[in-house]
Structure 1
């Protein structure tokens, strides 16, 4: 693996995972890169719940200033609830899903706290990153005498299925949090997990370390199922052999189904009053469910017991038109649901049904991927992420995809964090990726009457017949691209004589779009190239190179006359900012 090694100038690499449900960090020093440390335990306070990650929760005071993060934020808020002082405060949870599959994402996007009050999303993510950075620096000071924040290279994990705008949003939040842009790398979550699984010294190691071995990584977190497929190269590096894919099928689907089920039983009015007036009990219910759902296995049968706050039953009895027993009879659930004081007992069949939607969608997606011709040699599936540790997930995957070697590494929930640290030390470990879309830009093409409508015809500043808004394809969807190797736009390009030349970058789900105005095309960003350098075409000829393999898109523009070059990381948020 020597070809991928780098000494780097940073004393240590730290990774931050701002998850939908939980967040955390890990780090290792340059002189001992495989000794990766995590914060040993975030304490939930009164609950006997110790965790290597902490809930992704941000608490703001009435002046909209940051007060606390994680378990501390939840507990402080509950203490305010107890005193009846919580109303002007704000508690934000599970805000990361705003960035998933949000085509209109812009810098002004907002997220709602648990009572519906709004704040700019970028500020909430900034506060989360700043908190983790400060917590890390404080922890390091107890270990090392002289450590400067500038000695740290930060790796921030993002889902591979996110679009360019969402990745940029995360980077900008990190810069706002005070991290130096030159010391931030983004790591794709399933890719980081794949890198970590290369380190595992078990029988799995022999499987994955063989040259040519192909395996699928399924990263199941709180919000998303994020899937990528890798092949081991002869020099120990990895290449992606299928574009990243997945969907919003993480563990929070189970929580949402549980809450929806309670609403069906108790009614929307009861649950709304319960959440508002008995916030502490509501949080207790969610924490209880978080612990309980980890105990559900394929062998669970009979009735599963949940501790139910008495306040919920009381509110129902005061506000509902019929008793719970009547509701259960109406729903034909009297044999499967029972109440005894503060105990709710629910049949294993119903409990498992809360999991089934996310598991079915994930498993079916994996089956569809594995049925593709180029996936024939994939022999192993790695299940990682917090939800990846769920026994019901394992059972479904093993049952439906029995012909593959299914591996759940130890500490599957930390595989992404630890792999991201490894990636920071070994940035050359992944050599190629598969692009998800066709990428190109709008340009003035030579008018061709056989394929261009006459109304598209224009005359350019050099007096030639052209069509505007033509789609110039640089790379087609599903193409493997080498990281760090520029792809040259093959056609001759020229700066405009009369205006500052703008370049608009477009993506399309089609292989060969003709115009950037086609329905499948989306403007992902733009930048200015500058004014013409002279009067002749020869003086204004430019060469354009794209770098696709990195986690963010870069374009390099070279003036052929004098060899000067500009580099641009595409601003994928600007177009959406303008529309809001």
Structure 2
């Protein structure tokens, strides 16, 4: 974990998003002067907002090596496809979602490229972080001659709702991208947004700067909705008052609904062919929709006019004799909701577009309502909405209309709030002073048999006495508030040359045994003890460090000074 002993000269934050990625940085002397790279260019030209980040897309050459990232990767692949030279190349897009609620996450988890070819995801994360790092270093060294990489603290943003193993996956990818593990700090996305809002104008700041003010931050990105609830403390720091929550309700689900409709209108085969052979047309369709999606609102947007490439219509004819008009008529929609215009355009009614947004936003609103209904949330009267999808007027309108009891604030440049807040967090990680536990954590131990507490059938005879195996030794409980860097240490004695400490978690508040339903082994600490000192003279300290953005579990032999850290079960 990043050390705070000496303040870094520069903090650089990477926002590795589902759909878009980018970076920002600022120098120690002026931490609020945050710079972003604003020169990401798409082949077809793009708006200012899109150029502040670049698509999370990686292109690999025929040897499987990294070629390019972002718009450049997509445009190069499109060029290769036009000349029919793309067959041995692989383009991967939107692969971050593989880390969301992946219970069986391992380093061997695979993702598909744009043509359905699979490969391990881990190298793609490493390549992406390495690309962002090199791009950043090039930009920074132009501004400050002689800056060393050891002067930089790197902050990687991750969803607060991610599991411990997904965070570890991300950290390991950064280390594999040649970043010193002591200069990496993981930051939780809604917390970063909250920190950035602190620096903004009075409208935003006023709602959350009063001591004791409680507010909800909804970070709505491409893949997930990530929600945290914070309170402003008397010393100006932030404390979390509800464990992080959310779900897969981001903007990519709207895109998927649009592509499904195109599949129904032109045929799935035609769409797949377009993706494989007329790649630049495919990207034009997706990029144009991205622009329009961001502007859609139910009042001003009566309809969309979208451009459909001639190549898609040609491919549709090749695969089916049915006309576009017949396909539209076959859809179960109101008359004139979709109308062909000229030879390359479609007019789509606002009610159809609204239906593409509906499900993810229904889920989000239902979730926010259920959170606000909880007793401890009574004082929460403000919702701060950030993230790229949070900039959607439709999303804002629905939250305002359907949750009228709270005041909703959308800061300017909401899509960059996380990135900029992550830079501020890197300069002052102590600004978040406490967090709420998402799980009960503990270790598996033998407990002395107690007939008042333990059933007789659980006891075993061991070392001259009756013991109960598989007991859950709790170190911290779900929904407990823990201060950052809070440590819980327990002391025991080793029985053998190697001490294995299995670490468990559960959403139950008072688990008795690690075999209880819902208890999950997340990792093990393996420590070698001395055979030259009697075991009963060797004290073993098991320490859990809570409250930070990452869980840390370590075991120390006090007699030998040897230390070991938890290895995640999934990454053995």
Scaled by the length of structure 1, the TM-score of the pair is 0.93
In structure 2, the CA distance between the partners of 1:231 and 1:538, relative to structure 1 (3 Å rule), is: same
Structure 1 unaligned residues grouped into runs of 5+: 1-5
Q: Can you list the C-alpha shifts for 1:304-360, whole angstroms capped at 9, x where unaligned?
A: 210011121222222225322222223243421111210011110001111111111
Counterpart position of 1:566: 563
Bigger drift between 158-167 and 294-303 goes to 294-303
In structure 2, the CA distance between the partners of 1:518 and 1:29, relative to structure 1 (3 Å rule), is: same
Give, in angstroms, the shift of residue 564 of structure 1. Answer: 4.0
In structure 2, the CA distance between the partners of 1:296 and 1:442, relative to structure 1 (3 Å rule), is: same
**1:280 matches 2:280:** yes
Counterpart position of 2:540: 542
Counterpart position of 1:307: 307
Give, in angstroms, the shift of residue 291 of structure 1. Answer: 1.0
Conserved? CA contact 2:112–2:118, under 8 Å: yes
**1:524 matches 2:522:** yes
Give, in angstroms, the shift of residue 565 of structure 1. Answer: 6.6
Report the 3-state secondary structure (helix = DSSP H, G, I; strand = E; otherwise coil) of the residue aligned with 1:300: coil
Q: Can you list the C-alpha shifts for 1:65-100, whole angstroms capped at 9, x where unaligned?
A: 111001111111111011110010010100100011
Q: Can you list the C-alpha shifts for 1:7-27, whole angstroms capped at 9, x where unaligned?
A: 943210000011000000000
Q: C-alpha root-mean-square deviation of aligned residues, in Å?
A: 1.9
Conserved? CA contact 2:440–2:474, under 8 Å: yes
Counterpart position of 1:31: 29
Scaled by the length of structure 2, the TM-score of the pair is 0.95
Cα distance in 1 for residues equivalent to 2:381 and 2:425: 24
The number of residues matched between the two structures is: 565
**1:356 matches 2:358:** yes
Give, in angstroms, the shift of residue 40 of structure 1. Answer: 2.0
Where do residues 480-499 of structure 1 align in structure 2 (5 Å cutoff)?
A: 480-489=481-490, 493-496=492-495, 498-499=496-497
Cα distance in 2 for residues equivalent to 1:186 and 1:128: 16
Conserved? CA contact 1:34–1:422, under 8 Å: yes
Cα distance in 1 for residues equivalent to 2:339 and 2:235: 60
Give, in angstroms, the shift of residue 512 of structure 1. Answer: 1.7
Cα distance in 2 for residues equivalent to 1:286 and 1:400: 30
Cα distance in 2 for residues equivalent to 1:251 and 1:544: 43
Counterpart position of 1:3: none
Counterpart position of 1:134: 134
In structure 2, the CA distance between the partners of 1:537 and 1:48, relative to structure 1 (3 Å rule), is: closer
Q: Can you list the C-alpha shifts for 1:391-412, whole angstroms capped at 9, x where unaligned?
A: 1111111111112121100111
Give, in angstroms, the shift of residue 563 of structure 1. Answer: 8.9
Conserved? CA contact 2:78–2:278, under 8 Å: no
Conserved? CA contact 2:499–2:526, under 8 Å: yes
Cα distance in 1 for residues equivalent to 2:73 and 2:439: 40
Counterpart position of 2:232: 232
Give, in angstroms, the shift of residue 476 of structure 1. Answer: 1.3
Bigger drift between 550-559 and 407-416 goes to 550-559
**1:93 matches 2:93:** yes
In structure 2, the CA distance between the partners of 1:243 and 1:556, relative to structure 1 (3 Å rule), is: same
Give, in angstroms, the shift of residue 470 of structure 1. Answer: 1.5
Conserved? CA contact 1:533–1:540, under 8 Å: no
Cα distance in 2 for residues equivalent to 1:451 and 1:53: 58
Report the 3-state secondary structure (helix = DSSP H, G, I; strand = E; otherwise coil) of the residue aligned with 2:527: strand
Where do residues 391-540 of structure 1 align in structure 2 (5 Å cutoff)?
A: 391-449=393-451, 452-460=454-462, 462-489=463-490, 493-496=492-495, 498-531=496-529, 538-540=536-538
Where do residues 385-396 of structure 1 align in structure 2 (5 Å cutoff)?
A: 385-396=387-398
Report the 3-state secondary structure (helix = DSSP H, G, I; strand = E; otherwise coil) of the residue aligned with 1:250: coil
Bigger drift between 442-451 and 36-45 goes to 442-451
Conserved? CA contact 1:7–1:425, under 8 Å: no
Where do residues 38-437 of structure 1 align in structure 2 (5 Å cutoff)?
A: 38-50=36-48, 51-333=51-333, 334-340=335-341, 341-437=343-439
**1:15 matches 2:13:** yes
Q: Can you list the C-alpha shifts for 1:485-528, whole angstroms capped at 9, x where unaligned?
A: 21234xx53211x3512011111111122221222011111111
Structure 2 unaligned residues grouped into runs of 5+: none
Give, in angstroms, the shift of residue 534 of structure 1. Answer: 7.7
Counterpart position of 1:576: 570
Conserved? CA contact 2:525–2:554, under 8 Å: no
In structure 2, the CA distance between the partners of 1:7 and 1:477, relative to structure 1 (3 Å rule), is: closer
Report the 3-state secondary structure (helix = DSSP H, G, I; strand = E; otherwise coil) of the residue aligned with 1:64: coil
Report the 3-state secondary structure (helix = DSSP H, G, I; strand = E; otherwise coil) of the residue aligned with 1:399: helix
Cα distance in 2 for residues equivalent to 1:112 and 1:332: 32
